[in-house]
Amino acid sequence: MTEKHKYLIDEINLQDAWRMFRILAELVEGFDSMASVDNGIAFFGSARSVEGELAYDTARSLASKLAGEKCAIITGGGSGVMEAANRGAQEGRGLSIGLNIEIPFEQIANPYIDKLISFRYFFVRKVIFIKYSIAFVILPGGFGTMDELFEALTLIQTHKIAPFPLFMVGKDYWRGLVDWVTERMLGEGKIGPKDLDILHVVDSEEEVVEGIRDVRKKLGL
């Protein structure tokens, strides 16, 4: 090994060591900031939704109702469905939390957040979302929403977290995905029949509110 190669390897090792410290620092900050949150509801959905769209207006209304029942609303802190849910949380006089992410095209935090935490690493942000949520509300969205949906599904299926309710709001939007999961994944034995029970596809806000009331009662919250 040449001196140049050794120098490069040492530099890479040093960068990895500092990266571990940054990851640890983000986890510590997240745990410390969220320590008092024990009834968080995570909202996921498109950053591209705008006021007047069904997904935006539903997120806003639903978050307001849940905030009125003393739930903390947790979002990714950005625009669209995230903004709507944070906005509804404040209108319902509840705690509005944004877990923002640093990405190449800067995501600007929406103005309806009481507690804002910024993350460099997606996976650390996911840890905080999952750890402090007792239910997941999934509204129409894109790749990021799919990532968050299947992360929660996988952790529930594998019993890595409690079987918290997961509500997919908007039957028309989710029908194609659910049909594919049923016909292909279940049909070809890639998942079991009970795995479908994790999915709660709804149109009614009251179904979500009642489901979250039930889980809070079970948890004594």
d(CA 64, CA 164) in angstroms, rounded, equals: 20
**Predicted local confidence at residue 63, as pLDDT:** 98
Q: What is the CATH number that goes with domain 37-219?
A: 3.40.50.450
155: Cα within 13 Å, side-chain hemisphere: 20
Domains in the chain: boundaries: 37-219
**Predicted local confidence at residue 38, as pLDDT:** 86
SS3 label, residue 53: coil
**Predicted local confidence at residue 7, as pLDDT:** 43
The reported pTM is 0.89
The tens digit of pLDDT for each residue in 35-71 reads: 999 899 999 999 999 999 999 999 999 999 999 999 9
Q: pLDDT below 70 — which residues of the chain?
A: 1-14, 105-106
